[in-house]
Structures are given as structure tokens and as C-alpha cells.
């Protein structure tokens, strides 16, 4: 897209002499590559306008700004509003199915499963990685072309009103809520607040749209009442529209699931594992069927999913299997990871390195105690707990019967201690590494048993 067209679509004024083609976008000056448009976001701690000269030195074709910076620029009154204008202008030109997806856990993985299940229809446009904010989500429409047959838009939540804003831009015809959990609960105060925030997607659906929700969700009844359109469900329940009939862990990184839909049954091997992934896959198949893909074809297409890294990613080192799940952590996702560790075919001990879970606010103690209960129920032989709030995991696990010698607890994150724990692993052991993104626990693997 030429930069003049981008300026027109977002409602800005381009001041450059030339009219270069935009080859990509960056909201961080360190990520600028030649031909990229730099978006000067004003954040809580950093003002992107202070880095426009750096972006231009790195080869940016121009900058999207709210004040004159003396460089080739698109000047707008409000960057968030300009990006929304841009996304809306392109969305209005697309007539195929648009899937909006949100939820406390599983959004990005389910997005990839949905994209794979929709692929029989033709080219699928989707967010890259987890670019799901008010600044990055609208930019996905820049890649819309004549071959695009469906669009999948992941929508993140950082407070009330954000999903409503993103939905107003992309106007989804199918809305998916994976689960009402506890991730980012500090932003809205409670699970009821999360229900309100995630429910904004369902409220945005048109009368002829479809809402897709998890049948076993604690808030299923409340979610079902939100949209004014048809509601379908996925899950293990007898009355789920797309039902998980079976799950088998074939190996670390592989599982086989069996699904049913309207009297048909089909089986597929997935390039991941964990019973929660069977639910994500069922959700994707249901979405694809609602968009016009045949059930069996949708199930088979799941095997083509391009799943994201650092989500139960398998690392093999010197006879030790490491399950790296450090993209983020909430009580729900940590319990699911512990369940996955318990289900897999470990040859030796099952070990866990659990870091603290951030962004829980008043739910911090309760959330960590829920993980402690799950740890005690699991068949983990030994666990390392790192970070102040993990003392609640320790206390709860001890109260539930886990022995003192099965746990090592550190109030402060010390990657040296994490590395020592890893050094104690023996051939045949499987170790889960799980913690919030800010901890970067996976960095303890750098050079380990290289």
C-alpha cells in the first residue's frame, strides 16, 4: 500500500515529497526495518515521538504522528482513532466471514486452529502472533487482498471498552469466547468484570451472526444471554454442538482427538498436547462449520495449524524433555499445564518450575492457592517455586498433602537457582517451565546442556 493511501484511509495528512510503498509497520523504533511505517504511540512511560529520528535512521518510509516532528510524516489528531479509521475502511470492502476471538486463555492457539480449519475455503487473513491491541489489530487489514476468503481477528483485553472498540472496527460475523478465566483480572477487578469485557464481542454481533462459546464455562448461562444472534457451543457435554469424544496423548508434542458434529465423527492428530487443546480444536471446527467448511475437512485441516511458540513448546536436551510454557501465566493456564505434564508419557520424573503469576490484583493469593491445590493433585515428583506470591502455592500444596522435600521455594526470582534445578535433571526426566512473560524463565535454558 502506498503511504498516501494509508494517510487517506486513516484521515491523516502526508507531508513527504515521495509516495513510498509501506512494507510493514512498527510501534517500537527498535523493530523498524527499511520501508516500515513507524507508529509513534504515546505510552505510560515512553512517547514514541521521541524516537522518530531513530526510526528514520533505521530506514522507515515515514512516521504516523500527532505532532510535527520535522520528518516525512502522516499527521493525525489521534493515533488510536486514525488506526481505527484505517481498519474500518478496509473492513467495509470485505464480504466474507470475519471471526472475532477473545477469552482469558487460549486465544492465540485457538486462532491458529481456526485459521487452519477455515483454510479449505481459501486464503485466511489473521493477526500475526498476538498483535491484538487497539494499535496492532487494525493493521491486520493492510494485508487484505483479492484472494482473502476469511479473516480471523484476535482481540485482547486490557480493560472495559477495549474489545468493543476492536469489534467496532472489524465487525465480526462470528464471535468466539474461549473461556471466562482470571488472566488480567486486575484490569477489571473480578471474573464478573472479565465476563462484561469479553461479552462486548458477543454484543457486537449482527442479528444474522453466530456466537461460539464453551459449554462447560462457569459463565455459560450468562454468555448465552448476551448476543441477539444464534448461539452454538463446543465442549465435552452431551448437548455441545461440537463435542470432544476422546483424547489420547501420543507423545510429548502430539495428541489424537476425536470430535463429533451433527451425527458425524472424525479423528485427527494434532501437533500439540493437553486436554485443553482438544477444546481449542473443537472450537475451531465449530467455527469453520458455521462458515461453510465440511466437518470432516475442517477436522483434518487442524493438523496444518501453525501453533505459536512458548506454549508447551518441546525442548529436548541431553535426554531431558523440557515443556516451555512461558508466554504468559494465569491460574487457569497453569493448572492446564500441570494437567498436561501429568498426562504425557514421562520415562522418568515429572518436575515443575513455576514462577509467579502477575496481573491478578486482589485475586493474587486466591489464584496462587488454586495452583497449589492442582500441584498437590498432580503427580509432580518435585517443584521449584520462584517469586513472592508462590509462597501461597507452597502453603496450599503442603496443606493438601505434598511433602516438604518435594518443593523448593524462592521469594525472589533467581535464574541461577532455576539453572541449578535444571542441572539436577536426569535422563528421562520431563520438566515443565511455567510463569508470566515478565519473568522470562525460558532464559535459564540458554546454553544449558548445549
pLDDT, tens digit, for every residue of 244-301?
999 998 888 899 999 999 999 999 999 998 899 999 999 999 999 999 999 999 999 9
Range list of H helices, 171-322: 191-203, 220-224, 275-290, 295-301
What mean pLDDT is predicted for residues 145-152? 97
| Residue 7 clears pLDDT 90, i.e. is over it | yes
CA 339 to chain centroid, in Å, comes to 19
Mean pLDDT of the chain: 95
- How many C-beta atoms lie closer than 10 Å to residue 295's C-beta? 21
SS3 at position 140: helix
pLDDT for res 186: 87
Higher pLDDT, residue 450 or 249: 249
Which domains are assigned to the chain?
3-77 (3.40.1390.10), 83-304 (3.40.1190.10), 313-445 (3.90.190.20)
Residue 406: pLDDT band (50, 70, 90) is very high
Residue 358 has a pLDDT of 92
- 351, 380 contact by CB (below 8 A): yes
Q: What is the pLDDT of residue 59?
A: 98
**Pair 125, 143: CB distance under 8 Å:** yes
pLDDT at residue 158, as a whole number = 83
Give the Cα-Cα-Cα angle 398, 403, 406 (nearest 5 degrees): 110
Q: Are 298 and 120 in contact (CB under 8 A)?
A: yes
| CB-CB contact of 128 with 112 (8 Å) | no
Overall pTM surpassing 0.95 (yes/no): no
pLDDT at residue number 446: 92
* pLDDT at position 129 over 90: no
The strand pairing partners of 21, in sequence order, are 2
Q: What share of the chain is helix, strand, coil (3-state, %, to 5)?
A: 40, 25, 40
Q: Which stretches of 73-161 are DSSP H helices?
A: 79-91, 107-118
pLDDT at 208: 97
H-run or E-run covering 434? strand 430-434
| CB distance 355 to 436 below 8 Å | yes
Task: Band the pLDDT of 183: cuts 50, 70, 90.
Answer: confident
Q: What is the pLDDT of residues 314-352, one digit of tens each?
A: 999 999 999 999 988 999 999 999 999 998 888 999 999
Per-residue confidence band for 182, with pLDDT thresholds at 50, 70 and 90? confident
How does residue 161 score in pLDDT terms, banded at 50, 70 and 90? very high
Residue 75 host element (H or E): strand 73-75
Mean per-residue pLDDT, 381-403: 97
**Is the Cβ–Cβ distance between 302 and 268 less than 8 Å?**
yes
Whole-angstrom distance, CA of residue 234 vs CA of residue 259? 10
**CA dihedral for 64, 68, 72, 77, sign (positive or negative):** positive
Q: Give me the torsion for CA of 164, 165, 166, 169, rounded to 10°.
A: 110
| Res. 310 pLDDT band, cuts 50 70 90 | confident
Amino acid at each position: 500500500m502506498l503511504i498516501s493511501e494509508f494517510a487517506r484511509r486513516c484521515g491523516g495528512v502526508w507531508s513527504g515529497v515521495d509516495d513510498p510503498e509501506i512494507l510493514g509497520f512498527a510501534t517500537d523504533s527498535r523493530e523498524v526495518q527499511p520501508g516500515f511505517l513507524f507508529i509513534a504511540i504515546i505510552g505510560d512511560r515512553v512517547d514514541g515521538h521521541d524516537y522518530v529520528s531513530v526510526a528514520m535512521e533505521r530506514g522507515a518510509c515515514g512516521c504516523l504522528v500527532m505532532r510535527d516532528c520535522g520528518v516525512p510524516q502522516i499527521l493525525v489528531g489521534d493515533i488510536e482513532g486514525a488506526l481505527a479509521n484505517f481498519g474500518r475502511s478496509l473492513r467495509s470492502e470485505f464480504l466474507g466471514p470475519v471471526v472475532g476471538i477473545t477469552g482469558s486463555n487460549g486465544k492465540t492457539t485457538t486462532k491458529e486452529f481456526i485459521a487452519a480449519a477455515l483454510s479449505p475455503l481459501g486464503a485466511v487473513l489473521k493477526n500475526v502472533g498476538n498483535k491484538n491491541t487497539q494499535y496492532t489489530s487494525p493493521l491486520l487489514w493492510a494485508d487484505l487482498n483479492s484472494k482473502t476468503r476469511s479473516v480471523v481477528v484476535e482481540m485482547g483485553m486490557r480493560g472495559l471498552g477495549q474489545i468493543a472498540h476492536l469489534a467496532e472496527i472489524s465487525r465480526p460475523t462470528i464471535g468466539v469466547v474461549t473461556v471466562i478465566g482470571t488472566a488480567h483480572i486486575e484490569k477489571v477487578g473480578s471474573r464478573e468484570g472479565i465476563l462484561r469485557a469479553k461479552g462486548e464481542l458477543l454484543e457486537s454481533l449482527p442479528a444474522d451472526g453466530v456466537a461460539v462459546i464453551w459449554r462447560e464455562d462457569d459463565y455459560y448461562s450468562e454468555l448465552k444471554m448476551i448476543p441477539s444472534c444464534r448461539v452454538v457451543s463446543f465442549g465435552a457435554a452431551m448437548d455441545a454442538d461440537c463435542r470432544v469424544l476422546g483424547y489420547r496423548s501420543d507423545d510429548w508434542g502430539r495428541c489424537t482427538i476425536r470430535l463429533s458434529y451433527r451425527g458425524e465423527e472424525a479423528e485427527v492428530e494434532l501437533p500439540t498436547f493437553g486436554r485443553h487443546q482438544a477444546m481449542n480444536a473443537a472450537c475451531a471446527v465449530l467455527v469453520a462449520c458455521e462458515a461453510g467448511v465440511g466437518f470432516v475437512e475442517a477436522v483434518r485441516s487442524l493438523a496444518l495449524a501453525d501453533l505459536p511458540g512458548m506454549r508447551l513448546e518441546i525442548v529436548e536436551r541431553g535426554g531431558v524433555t523440557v515443556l516451555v510454557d512461558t508466554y504468559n501465566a494465569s491460574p487457569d493456564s497453569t493448572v492446564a499445564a500441570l494437567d498436561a505434564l501429568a498426562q504425557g508419557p514421562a520415562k522418568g520424573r515429572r518436575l515443575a518450575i513455576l514462577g509467579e503469576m502477575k496481573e491478578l490484583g486482589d485475586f493474587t493469593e486466591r489464584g496462587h492457592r488454586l495452583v497449589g491445590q492442582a500441584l498437590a493433585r498432580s503427580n509432580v515428583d518435585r517443584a521449584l517455586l520462584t517469586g513472592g506470591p508462590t509462597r501461597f502455592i507452597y502453603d496450599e500444596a503442603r496443606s493438601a498433602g505434598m511433602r516438604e522435600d518435594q518443593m523448593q521455594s524462592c521469594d525472589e526470582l533467581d535464574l541461577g537457582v532455576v539453572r541449578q534445578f535444571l542441572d539436577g535433571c536426569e535422563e528421562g526426566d520431563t520438566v515443565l517451565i511455567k510463569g508470566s512473560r515478565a519473568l522470562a524463565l525460558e532464559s535459564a535454558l540458554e546454553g544449558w546442556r548445549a
